Amino acid sequence: MKLLGIGPHGFPGASRVLRDLAGLGLADFTYLEDLRFPVDTDLCILAAWAPAYHLILDKLPCTFVLWTSPLTQAELSDPELDYLSFIMRSDKVERVWCERSLAEVLGGKAFWLPFPVDVERVQKYKQSGERSGVGLFVPSRGYKNIASQLAAVKLLQNRDPSLLLHTNVMDTKYRRLISMLNIQAEFYPWLPEEEYYRLLGSLRLILHVSLSESWAYGVSDAMLLGTVCLVSRAIDWVDPSLGLTVENPDNPIEIAEKMNYALGVPRLSKQVEEYTVKVVRENNHKLKKGIMNILEQEE
């Protein structure tokens, strides 16, 4: 049975899930903008929900939707709650793949499987050498908790002015905050994949202390490259025993204290890489079994 993932260029997070599914050999993938009809597949998985899907649903075979947003993220990202209500009611969407707690809440046609991670695609960019700076690479969305993390960087730069922030945060209100706090930063509006991964692998620390997440590829990518990453409890696959989980994301002082701890622990880079490889390989194994079971049910 053939499986095809379809995602818009404008949904890099959800499309990444389906791209990595293809990378594991479990599906093919095409961007929505490149889709051609008739579609040669038995089952389609659409990345998140885009109004453009209304134009193609009748032309597709059996259709699933991959829904990557937890409820808090959907609540803070209009009109995602309306989209979720639509796809759960639509008789043109057979199943909805979502994160574990949401699948339990929704029941019915919702189901949970781990998200895939193409380890080899990321780790081919591993490098050795001196690390420097901290990174904050997230979309400019409120649930990413950007202001508190920027404030924490400011507190660390007060102690060590040489600690440069590398970031893709380009939204005007955050650029004004960075300027007001006099944070020393280098900005990256966009990077090709190889340059992005090589930058991630060159940093001492990545910040991802967000308010809501389903997986957080920015965290798994960084840690697969040996870059230590601070997280919140929302990224629950990172074991708190690693000492990288911030209990209160709303407290820049606590984030700064965790940053100071993480920057001072020797061999933490190797530890987080080995831990992440183990977690994602276990998840990929569970995912493969789950996908095979679903395909057998659809035959």
CATH topology of domain 3-112: Rossmann fold (3.40.50)
Answer positive or negative: Cα dihedral of 296, 7, 80, 143. positive
pLDDT band with cut points at 50, 70 and 90 for residue 299: confident
Predicted pLDDT at 121: 96
Which of 253, 250, 214, 206 has its CA nearest to residue 231?
206
**Tens digit of each residue's pLDDT (9 = 90 or more) over 167-192:** 999 999 999 999 999 999 999 988 99
Region(s) of the chain under CATH 3.40.50.2000: 120-279
**Tens digit of each residue's pLDDT (9 = 90 or more) over 186-230:** 999 889 999 999 999 999 999 999 999 999 999 999 999 999 999
Beta bridge partners of 96: 65, 110
**Tens digit of each residue's pLDDT (9 = 90 or more) over 7-45:** 999 999 999 999 999 999 999 999 999 999 999 999 999
- The highest-level CATH class for domain 120-279 is alpha beta
Using alpha carbons only, give the angle 260, 119, 231 rounded to the nearest 5 degrees. Answer: 25
Instruction: For residues 83-106, give the mean pLDDT.
Output: 97
Q: What is the dihedral of CA 67, 229, 24, 13, to 10 degrees?
A: 30
